[in-house]
Amino acid sequence: MSRVNGFPSAQWFRSNPQDPDALLGKARITFYQGEFSEAQAAAKEAVERRPDDFSSLFLLASIAHARGHRRQTLDFLKRAEKLSPGNAEVASLRN
């Protein structure tokens, strides 16, 4: 994987669009750009490819939270917490 300043390069993302890390990267970028539907789709696909990935599940919870979907937020947080019990990020998003 080629890197620029410690991060995967844009070329790597384009060359590996189905890679769970690339999907998570796309989900994060689009989430921070406020494109919640696109972010959610990419994060869900990342979870389908790697179901036990805390970062993807937590991002799905964050997206649901940003969209005001409390029940979805809690469902994703429950799954994330099973992977990282006592995680402070999970606790702060839950409250």
The predicted-structure confidence for 56-74, as pLDDT tens digits, reads as follows 999 999 999 999 999 999 9
Q: How far apart are CA 1 and CA 72, in angstroms?
A: 33
Which residue has tokens 């994703």? 76
- Tell whether the model's pLDDT for residue 82 goes beyond 60: yes
> Quick one: CA dihedral 79, 83, 85, 91, positive or negative?
negative
Secondary element (H or E) of residue 7: strand 7-8
Q: Give the pLDDT confidence score for residue 4 in this predicted structure.
A: 42
- Tell whether the model's pLDDT for residue 33 goes beyond 50: yes
Average pLDDT along the chain: 88
Q: What percentage of residues in the chain have a pLDDT greater than 70?
A: 86
Mean pLDDT of 43-51: 95
Q: How far apart are CA 69 and CA 9, in angstroms?
A: 33
Residue 5 binned pLDDT confidence (cut-offs 50, 70, 90) = very low
Q: Give the pLDDT confidence score for residue 25 in this predicted structure.
A: 86
Q: Give the pLDDT confidence score for residue 19 in this predicted structure.
A: 85
